[in-house]
Amino acid sequence: MAYVVADPCVKCKYTDCVAVCPVDCFYEGKNSLAINPDECIDCGACEPECPTTAIFEESELPTKWAIYKDINALVTGTKKVGDIDLASWPEKLKAQAPTRSRAEHHRAEEAAAGRRRRRQGRQQARRPHLEGGA
C-alpha dihedral (29, 25, 63, 101), degrees to nearest 10: 50
Number of domains in the chain: 1
pLDDT of residue 105: 58
Q: Among 6-15, 57-66, 72-81, 83-92, which stretch is predicted with the lowest mean pLDDT?
A: 83-92
Q: Is residue 123 part of a domain?
A: no
- Mean predicted confidence (pLDDT) in 101-130: 66
Q: Is residue 83 part of a domain?
A: yes
- Mean predicted confidence (pLDDT) in 32-57: 96
Q: Is residue 118 part of a domain?
A: no
Q: Is residue 127 part of a domain?
A: no
Q: Is residue 110 part of a domain?
A: no
Taken as a whole, the chain contains a residue count of: 134
Q: Is residue 34 part of a domain?
A: yes
C-alpha pair distances (Å), 77 with each of 52, 93, 102, 105, 121? 24, 17, 5, 10, 33
CATH, residue 40: 3.30.70.20
Q: Is residue 14 part of a domain?
A: yes
Domain that includes residue 87, residue range: 3-99
71-111 per-position pLDDT tens digit: 999 889 898 888 888 887 777 777 777 665 556 656 656 76
pLDDT of residue 38: 95
Q: Is residue 114 part of a domain?
A: no
The pTM of the full predicted model, rounded to 2 decimals, is 0.70
